[in-house]
A = this chain, B = another copy of it.
Amino acid sequence: MPNYTNLHFLRFLLFEVHPVKELFSYPRFAHLDEEQAWMLIESAKKFADQEMAPYYKEMDETPVRYDGKGNVLTHACLKRIIPIAAEQGWIGSTADFEHGGMQLPEMINGTAHHIFQAANNGVEGYIGLSSGAAGLITSFGSAAQIKKYVPPIFAGKWQGTMALTEPQAGSSLTDITTSAKHIEGDQYAIRGQKIFISGGQHEACENFIHLTLARIEGAPAGTKGISLFIIPKFRITESGSFEYNDVYCAGDFQKMGQKGYATTHLVFGDHNNCIGYLVGEPHKGLSYMFQMMNGARISVGLSAASVTMAAYQASLQYCKERPQGRLITEKNPLQPPTLIINHPDVQRMLFTQKAIAEGSLSLGMECNRLYDLVHAGEGDEKHNNWLLLEILTPIVKTYSAEQGSRAAALAIQTLGGYGFTTDFPVQQHYRDLKIMSLYEGTTGIQALDLLGRKVTMENGKALQILSSAIQSTIQEGITIPATTNCANQLANSLVEIQKVLAKLLPLATEGKIDLLLADATVFLEMVSYTVIGWQWLKMGIIAANQLNNAQQEKRSFYEGKLHTMEFYFTYEMPHIAACAKTLLTMSGLTSVKDYELFA
Interface string of A567-599 (1 = CB under 8 A from B): 100110011011101100101011110111111
User: Considering only CB atoms, which chain B residue lies closest to A557 in the complex?
Assistant: B599
Partner of A420, one of B256, B334, B520: B256
A443 touches B413 (CB 8 A): yes
Within 8 A of B (CB), among A313-369: 316, 320, 322, 324-329, 333-334, 337, 341, 343-351, 354
Residue of chain B at shortest CB distance from A594: B556
Set of chain B residues within 8 Å of A256, measured between Cβ atoms: 420-422, 427-428, 430-431
Inter-chain contact B590/A344, CB cutoff 8 Å: yes
In the complex, whether A250 has a CB less than 8 A from a CB of chain B is no
Interface size class of chain A, counting residues whose CB lies under 8 Å from the partner chain: 35 or more
CB of A417 within 8 Å of the partner chain:
yes
Q: Is A484 an interface residue (CB 8 A)?
A: no
Q: Which residues of B have CB within 8 Å of A341?
A: 595, 598
**A420 and B255 contact, CB distance less than 8 A:** yes
CB-CB < 8 A to A597: which residues of B? 556, 559-560, 563-564
Is A444 in contact with chain B by the CB < 8 A criterion? yes
Q: Closest residue to A554 on the B side, CB-wise?
A: B596
User: By the criterion CB–CB under 8 Å, are A413 and B438 in contact?
Assistant: yes
Q: Kindly provide the distance from the CB of A584 to the nearest chain B CB, expressed in whole angstroms.
A: 10
- A80: Cβ under 8 A from any B Cβ: no
For the complex, is A409 an interface residue (Cβ under 8 Å from B)? yes
Interchain CB contact under 8 A, B575 and A571: no
Shortest A251–chain B CB gap in Å is: 11
- For the complex, is A257 an interface residue (Cβ under 8 Å from B)? yes
CB distance from A413 to the nearest CB of B (A): 6
Contacts of A419 in B (CB 8 A): 438
Task: Say yes or no for A23: interface residue by CB 8 A criterion.
Answer: no
Assess A514 versus B175: contact at CB under 8 Å? Given A348-B590, A578-B577: no
Instruction: Tell me the complex Cα distance, A409–B326, Å.
Output: 34
Q: Is A51 an interface residue (CB 8 A)?
A: no
- Quick one: given A422-B255, A566-B587, are A172 and B334 in contact (CB under 8 Å)? no
- Is the beta-carbon distance between B556 and A599 smaller than 8 angstroms? yes
Q: Is the CB of A438 within 8 A of B422?
A: no
Q: A345-B590, A596-B560 are in contact. Are A574 and B574 (CB under 8 A)?
A: no
Q: Is the CB of B578 within 8 A of A254?
A: no
Instruction: Please measure, in the bound complex, the distance between the C-alpha atom of A427 and the C-alpha atom of B433, giving whole angstroms.
Output: 12
Which residues of A (87-141) have their CB < 8 Å from a CB of B?
Answer: none
Tell me if A513 is interfacial: C-beta within 8 Å of chain B.
yes
When distances are taken between beta carbons in the complex, the residues of chain B under 8 Å from A598 are 316, 341, 350-351, 354, 560
B residues within 8 A CB of A405?
A: 409
Enumerate chain B residues within 8 angstroms of A421, measured Cβ to Cβ: 253-256, 263
Known A-B contacts A333-B223, A417-B438, A520-B345; the reply to A582 vs B571 at CB < 8 A is yes
- Selected contact of A416 from candidates B171, B326, B520, B564, CB within 8 Å: B171
Inter-chain contacts of A556 with B (CB < 8 A): 594, 596-597, 599
Query: Given A325-B172, A521-B348, is A570 in contact with B557 using a C-beta cutoff of 8 Å?
Result: no
When all copies of this chain in the complex are counted, the total is: 2
Chain B residue contacts of A417, Cβ below 8 A: 165, 170, 195-196, 435, 438
Question: With A409-B434, A444-B346 given, is the CB distance from A599 to B518 under 8 Å?
Answer: no
Q: Mark A217-238, 1 if CB is under 8 A from B, else 0.
A: 0000111000000000000000
Contact partners of A416 in chain B: CB under 8 A: 170-171, 438, 442
A452 contacts partner chain B, Cβ-Cβ < 8 Å: yes
CB <8 Å contact, B577 and A589: no
Asked if residues B599 and A344 are in contact (CB atoms below 8 Å), the reply is no
Which of A263, A325, A513, A579 lies at the interface centre, i.e. has the most chain B CB atoms within 10 A of its CB? A325
CA distance A519 to B352 in the complex (A): 13
A544 at the interface (CB under 8 A from B): no
Which B residues are CB-close (under 8 A) to A438? 412-413, 416-417, 419-420
- A255: chain B residues at CB < 8 Å are 420-422, 427
**Nearest Cβ distance between residue A525 and chain B, in whole angstroms?**
11
- Distance, CA A76 to CA B95, complexed state (A): 57
B571 close to A574 (CB less than 8 A): no
Contact with B along A244-264 (1 / 0, CB 8 A): 000000000111110000010
A437 in the interface (beta carbon within 8 A): yes
What residues of chain B lie closer than 8 Å to A567, measured between beta carbons? 587, 589-590
Beyond known contacts A222-B333, A256-B430, A567-B589: 10 more, CB 8 A cutoff? A196-B417, A221-B334, A222-B334, A253-B423, A254-B422, A256-B422, A347-B592, A413-B443, A560-B596, A574-B577
A sample of 10 cross-chain residue pairs with beta-carbon separation below 8 angstroms, ordered by A number, consists of A175-B333, A195-B417, A253-B423, A347-B590, A347-B591, A412-B438, A413-B442, A419-B438, A574-B582, A575-B578
Which 6 A-B pairs have CB atoms at the shortest separation, nearest pair first?
A222-B333, A556-B596, A560-B597, A574-B578, A347-B590, A344-B518
